[in-house]
Amino acid sequence: MLNRRQFFATLIFAKTGASASILRATPLRAQGYPTEKDVYFDPDIPALGNPKGDVTIAEFFDYQCPYCKRNHPELMKVIESDGRIRLVMKDFPIFGDPSIYAANLVLASAAAGKYAAALEALMNTPARLSRQDVDATLKKVGLDPTELHAAYKKNSRQIDAIIVRNIAQANAFNLQGTPAFVIGRKIYPGYMNEKALKEAVAEARNA
Amino acid sequence: MRLVILSLVFLGIFAAPVTADPLSADEAFQLQVSKIADGGVRFDWTIADGYYLYRARISARSADGSERKVETPQGIAKEDPIFGVTEVYYERATATVPGASNQPIEITYQGCQENGICYVPQTKRIDPLTLAVSSHTDTSANVPSPDAAASAGAPEEPATGFSLAQEEGLVRSLLRKGGPLLVVLSFLGFGMLIAFTPCVFPIYPILAGTLAREGDRLTARRGFFLSAIYVLSFASAFSLLGAFAGWSGQNLQMVLQSPFTTGAVSIVFVLLALAMFGLFELQLPAGWVNWIAARTGRLEISKKSVAVLGFSSAFIVGPCVTAPLAGALLHIAQSGDMLLGAAALFALGIGKGIPLIVVGTMGASILPRAGAWMEYVKAIFGIGFLATAIWISAPLLPAGLDLVLWAALLIGTGTWAFSAARGNSGLPILARTAGLMAVIYGTILIIGAAIGSTDPWQPLATLANSSRSSKNTELQFASIASASELQNELRSASGQKPTLVYFTADWCITCRTIERSILTQDGVKQSLEGLHLVKADLSTLRKESTELMQQLRVAGPPTMIFFDRHAREVAGTRLVGEVTAELLSKSAAMVRSF
């Protein structure tokens, strides 16, 4: 476990150019298991769906993971039809630099209240992305990638810390990859169809 | 995963008896490491069913951080309606990091579970001397993971010295595109295409002969039923044989093509011919007939004998390997999915039989009703059966003897035509002309046999060749019988020429067609120029040749595999079953361009 976390830390900090000091400054909770509060109520990740919902779905995802993206419309459909689900999208970038870049810009768009629009736009792209693809996609929904990049630069400590926390939680849960859903008190690795999602939500409500 | 869930339960935070857990990355992508000739390292992944690796996500670097070059073979283009094309590997993947180095190599790879999960990139460190594998470790925590210890202790896999193209396989690709239904429908289609190849030829006279014996009882309805029963039992036998062959790991051809079966089948044909000539009435022993009749009652005897005939016909046609048959057999053998394999083979058999049913149904109106004509028709079928018997048994006979048998059959047929066709109207004259020609060709065959010719199509070639020395016209193949011999051949051609490995056998009728009419064409010879030609003769099956077939994933002859000059099979070049000159030239051109 230690090795993989180390690997991710290097991956992220090498590619984003952030200093390793952030890693030390960020409390890594992997030594202990994350609490529900850690996973579902990260103060820096905007909640989607119904923010006041009675059940939270946390999804560990990557903007280039084909099954995350194929799963996304189904997930949104369930959330919409249910009406009482809170959604927390937890960036777990495993497909290299463009994924980290996309995560950074989308998280940076939260400051301007554009998080949901940016996330939706990027989830609706082909699986493979370049930095240029990310920029072009955000432009299409009326966001300025240059501004977002500036916003990320300004808040990079905070945004990098979100991703580091996500990765620490993913490692603590021993997640193998993306997508992985945490619903109620259960972890569901891999693609979840509508039925599975609904069942998981129902189970979480009954617990 | 399970362990974590347990600890979560213990901590009372998150508890998850997760359904359909994806495999761990190390289970999904099992890595084996071996050395290659130049001191570099070769990585072989065995990929679990339903999982794949991305070609573009395989990378390597030295422990000091510098990039290392990774060579990977062409992958399979995985098409996704939403995400477009990515190059991936199913079942197996290979990568080589060439060049000796004292630095440990860190290889990183990434893959997904189909419709499930995409794994985080996996990094392993390989010691270049001991080939010990450890999960990526940094200097502060140099603790090998449990699976690293296991891999390190595992014996090194012997290097095969070649790599195969990552072909998705016929069945698998159909399965992915349209599920089992598409597989079955496609095989039905393949069967209909094959129905018009020499592979299936022998079953036409069998059914036609049976229908002819029906005489004036034969109506279109009856013709349809009889041929449908025939085809159904044929297809059932086919699927059973295929399932058994796949399950047992034995090749269908090998099961069926022992000299013993071939001999028995030719004797059956001779008996069928004699029945046609009216020597005896062909039916099952009375005891069996009564036994069956007592239990089934309603079915008429002829229907049952047609069923038996259909079932046994599969043994005659089965040996003919074709691309779909090979695909189905390999799928059964590799996936153990007998049900789908058998269903595919059943559909293949039905497909092969559909033209037969058409012939059988229409035959009733085409075939002359009754009377003396019927006798002629029977006699012609008898001759057809005898020809089939000679054809099948030819490989078992001493070289040249088949020429004599052909001569005897032709002269006999000619003589009969002369005596039977009376009168001066058109048809009898035509029949006598054909008869005379048969006698003349038969005579030439006898001469050919006498001067040592062995090819019934070129009985006088021996004479021609002696007058016009043509030594260079025949393609020269090096013979191999085992994987180590193949390695030697590939090594001798390494870096210089591509290699063609051609699997053939005496008993493979399609192979004989290829050797006689494809490999002799000038265009084909030109396209094969500059290729190292290797022939694996499977006429007598030994353990080594079976192993060779397994290593190269060959279902049976004829199969042609094209390796580039670095002993890597080029994707999309493999030819199975009947080939055309164009296909052969295309594959040769592709392998040369690498």
pLDDT string in tens for chain A (207-residue length) = 334 333 333 333 333 333 333 333 233 333 456 788 888 999 999 999 999 999 999 999 999 999 999 999 999 999 999 999 999 999 999 988 889 999 999 999 998 899 999 999 999 987 788 899 999 999 999 999 999 999 998 888 899 889 988 988 888 888 889 999 999 888 888 999 999 999 999 999 987
**How buried is residue B27: exposed, middle or buried, by Cβ count under 10 Å (0-12/13-18/19+)?**
exposed
Alpha helices in B298-425 (DSSP H): 301-317, 323-335, 338-366, 372-393, 401-420
- Read off the CATH number of the domain in which B113 is found: 2.60.40.1250
Coil vs helix vs strand at B133: strand
Q: How far is A131 from chain B (nearest CA, A)?
A: 17
CA torsion sign for B461, B462, B463, B464 is positive
> Is B541 in the A-facing interface, judged by CB distances under 8 Å?
no
Distance CA B73, CA B44 (A): 12
Please list the residues that pair with A62 across neighbouring strands.
none
Q: How far is A142 from chain B (nearest CA, A)?
A: 23
Distance CA B178, CA B291 (A): 45
Q: Residue A128: its pLDDT value, please? A: 81
Residue B45's CB is within 10 A of a number of other CB atoms, namely 22
Check A177 against B86: CB less than 8 A apart: no
What domain count does chain B have?
3
**Which has the closest alpha carbon to A72: A140, A134, A130, A121?**
A121
Check A36 against B18: CB less than 8 A apart: no
Interface residue of B1, B6, B9, B13 to substitute, partner A, most A CBs within 10 Å: B13
B122 membership: H or E segment, kind and range:
strand B122-126
Check whether residue B185 and residue B112 sit in a common domain: no
Please list the residues that pair with B51 across neighbouring strands.
B113
Q: Residue A87: its pLDDT value, please? A: 96
> Is B101 in the A-facing interface, judged by CB distances under 8 Å?
no
All residues of chain A having their beta carbon less than 8 Å from the beta carbon of residue B21 are: 189
CA distances from B205 to A61, B356, B373, B426, B472 (A): 64, 10, 17, 26, 40
- Which residue of chain A is at minimal alpha-carbon distance from B2? A174
- Token pair 């736009």 is found at A121
- Read off the CATH number of the domain in which A8 is found: 3.40.30.10
By Cβ distance, the residue of A33, A62, A127 closest to B83 is A127
What domain count does chain A have?
1
All residues of chain A having their beta carbon less than 8 Å from the beta carbon of residue B27 are: none
Coil vs helix vs strand at B151: helix
Check B137 against A3: CB less than 8 A apart: yes
Check A95 against B1: CB less than 8 A apart: no
Check whether residue B191 and residue B294 sit in a common domain: yes
Per DSSP, B322 falls in state -
Check B112 against A8: CB less than 8 A apart: no
CA distances from A178 to A15, B110, B117 (A): 20, 12, 5
Q: Residue B275: its pLDDT value, please? A: 75
Check whether residue B93 and residue B42 sit in a common domain: yes
**Residue B351, token pair as written in the block:** 């497909």
> Is B67 in the A-facing interface, judged by CB distances under 8 Å?
no
Q: How far is A173 from chain B (nearest CA, A)?
A: 7
- Read off the CATH number of the domain in which B569 is found: 3.40.30.10
All residues of chain B having their beta carbon less than 8 Å from the beta carbon of residue A174 are: 1, 3-4
- Token pair 């998705």 is found at B168
Check A191 against B115: CB less than 8 A apart: yes
- CA A109 to chain CA centroid, nearest Å: 14
**How buried is residue B82: exposed, middle or buried, by Cβ count under 10 Å (0-12/13-18/19+)?**
exposed
Q: Which residues of B200-234 are buried (b: 16+ CB within 10 A; e: fewer)?
A: bbbbbbbbbbbbbbbeeebeeebbbbbbbbbbbbb
By Cβ distance, the residue of A70, A94, A182 closest to B82 is A70
Q: In this structure, is residue B426 part of a structural domain? A: no
Check whether residue B207 and residue B154 sit in a common domain: no
Q: Which pTM does this prediction carry?
A: 0.44
Q: In this structure, is residue B462 part of a structural domain? A: no
Q: What is the DSSP string of A143-198?
A: --HHHHHHHHHHTHHHHHHHHHHHHHHHHHTT--EE-EEEETTEEEES---HHHHH
Q: Residue B153: its pLDDT value, please? A: 31
**How buried is residue A12: exposed, middle or buried, by Cβ count under 10 Å (0-12/13-18/19+)?**
buried
Give this complex's ipTM. 0.78
> Is B135 in the A-facing interface, judged by CB distances under 8 Å?
yes
All residues of chain B having their beta carbon less than 8 Å from the beta carbon of residue A8 are: 120
Check B14 against A182: CB less than 8 A apart: yes
Check B14 against A177: CB less than 8 A apart: no
**Which has the closest alpha carbon to A4: B64, B27, B65, B120?**
B120
Coil vs helix vs strand at B249: coil
Q: Residue A6: its pLDDT value, please? A: 36
Find the distance separating the first CA and the last CA of chain B, reported in whole Å: 44
Check A185 against B16: CB less than 8 A apart: yes
Check whether residue B180 and residue B287 sit in a common domain: yes
Please list the residues that pair with A8 across neighbouring strands.
none
All residues of chain B having their beta carbon less than 8 Å from the beta carbon of residue A190 are: 20, 22, 113, 116-117
Q: Is the peptide bond before B368 cis (omega within 30 degrees of 0)?
A: no
Check whether residue B151 and residue B179 sit in a common domain: no
Strand order of the β-sheet with A186-189 is A48-49, A85-91, A55-61, A180-183, A186-189
All residues of chain A having their beta carbon less than 8 Å from the beta carbon of residue B20 are: 190
Per DSSP, B139 falls in state G
**Which has the closest alpha carbon to B342: B239, B205, B249?**
B239
Distance CA B566, CA B38 (A): 13
Helix axes A115-123, A131-140, angle to 10 degrees: 120
- Identify whether the C-beta of residue A173 lies closer than 8 Å to the C-beta of residue B3: no
All residues of chain B having their beta carbon less than 8 Å from the beta carbon of residue A36 are: 13-14
Q: Residue A71: its pLDDT value, please? A: 93
C-alpha count within 13 angstroms, C-beta hemisphere, residue B441: 17
Check whether residue B175 and residue B122 sit in a common domain: no
Q: Is the peptide bond before A179 cis (omega within 30 degrees of 0)?
A: yes
By Cβ distance, the residue of B16, B22, B123 closest to A186 is B16
Q: How far is B72 from chain A (nearest CA, A)?
A: 19
Check whether residue B221 and residue B243 sit in a common domain: yes
- Which residue of chain A is at minimal alpha-carbon distance from B146? A1
- Kindly tell me the number of DSSP H helices and DSSP E strands found in chain B: 21, 18
- Which residue of chain B is at minimal alpha-carbon distance from A125? B83
By Cβ distance, the residue of B8, B84, B119 closest to A126 is B84
Q: Which residues of B142-173 are buried (b: 16+ CB within 10 A; e: fewer)?
A: eebbebbeebbeeeeeeebbbbbbbbbbbbbb
All residues of chain B having their beta carbon less than 8 Å from the beta carbon of residue A65 are: 112, 118
Range A18-21, long-range pairs (CB < 8 A, 24+ positions) = A18/A156, A18/A160
Domain that holds residue A191: 2-206
Q: In this structure, is residue B410 part of a structural domain? A: no
Residue B185's CB is within 10 A of a number of other CB atoms, namely 14
Check A190 against B117: CB less than 8 A apart: yes
**Which has the closest alpha carbon to B114: B176, B201, B192?**
B176
Helix axes A97-108, A2-16, angle to 10 degrees: 70
Distance CA A188, CA B129 (A): 41
All residues of chain A having their beta carbon less than 8 Å from the beta carbon of residue B13 are: 33-36, 185
Calculate ∠ Cα B259-B263-B267, nearest 5°: 175
Interface residue of B53, B120, B143 to substitute, partner A, most A CBs within 10 Å: B120
Residue A23's CB is within 10 A of a number of other CB atoms, namely 18
Range B264-269, long-range pairs (CB < 8 A, 24+ positions) = B265/B315, B265/B316, B265/B392, B266/B388, B266/B389, B266/B390, B266/B392, B266/B393, B266/B396, B267/B389, B268/B312, B269/B385, B269/B386, B269/B388, B269/B389, B269/B392
Pairing of strands B67-68, B118-119: unpaired
Q: Residue A18: its pLDDT value, please? A: 35
Distance CA B574, CA B323 (A): 10
Find the distance separating the first CA and the last CA of chain A, reported in whole Å: 30
Interface residue of B7, B14, B29 to substitute, partner A, most A CBs within 10 Å: B14
Q: In this structure, is residue B7 part of a structural domain? A: no
- CA A1 to chain CA centroid, nearest Å: 20
Check whether residue B124 and residue B273 sit in a common domain: no
Q: How far is B99 from chain A (nearest CA, A)?
A: 26
Check A189 against B21: CB less than 8 A apart: yes
- Identify whether the C-beta of residue A170 lies closer than 8 Å to the C-beta of residue A62: no
Amino acid at position B149, single letter: A
Check B15 against A190: CB less than 8 A apart: no
Per DSSP, B215 falls in state G
By Cβ distance, the residue of A35, A175, A185 closest to B15 is A185
Name the CA radius of gyration of chain B, rounded. 30
By Cβ distance, the residue of B13, B25, B118 closest to A66 is B118
Check whether residue B253 and residue B375 sit in a common domain: yes
Helix axes B203-214, B259-276, angle to 10 degrees: 30
**Residue B9, token pair as written in the block:** 């339960």
Low-confidence ranges of chain B (pLDDT < 70): 1-20, 81-84, 136-170, 197-199, 201-202, 205, 209, 212-218, 245-259, 261, 279-302, 315-324, 326, 330-336, 363-374, 395, 464-473, 507, 509, 541, 594
> Is B5 in the A-facing interface, judged by CB distances under 8 Å?
yes
By Cβ distance, the residue of B15, B22, B110 closest to A186 is B15
Q: How far is A46 from chain B (nearest CA, A)?
A: 22
Check A3 against B112: CB less than 8 A apart: no
By Cβ distance, the residue of A2, A66, A187 closest to B16 is A187
All residues of chain B having their beta carbon less than 8 Å from the beta carbon of residue A34 are: 13
> Is B116 in the A-facing interface, judged by CB distances under 8 Å?
yes
Check A188 against B120: CB less than 8 A apart: no
- Identify whether the C-beta of residue B111 lies closer than 8 Å to the C-beta of residue B27: no
Q: In this structure, is residue B415 part of a structural domain? A: no
- Which residue of chain A is at minimal alpha-carbon distance from B122? A4
By Cβ distance, the residue of B11, B84, B136 closest to A7 is B136
Distance CA B543, CA B262 (A): 21
All residues of chain B having their beta carbon less than 8 Å from the beta carbon of residue A189 are: 1, 18, 21-22, 116-117
Coil vs helix vs strand at B35: strand
Check whether residue B50 and residue B191 sit in a common domain: no
Range B417-422, long-range pairs (CB < 8 A, 24+ positions) = B420/B376, B420/B379
Check whether residue B144 and residue B215 sit in a common domain: no
Domain that holds residue B380: 171-399
CA distances from B13 to A163, B3, B4 (A): 22, 14, 11
- CA A7 to chain CA centroid, nearest Å: 19
Q: In this structure, is residue B116 part of a structural domain? A: yes
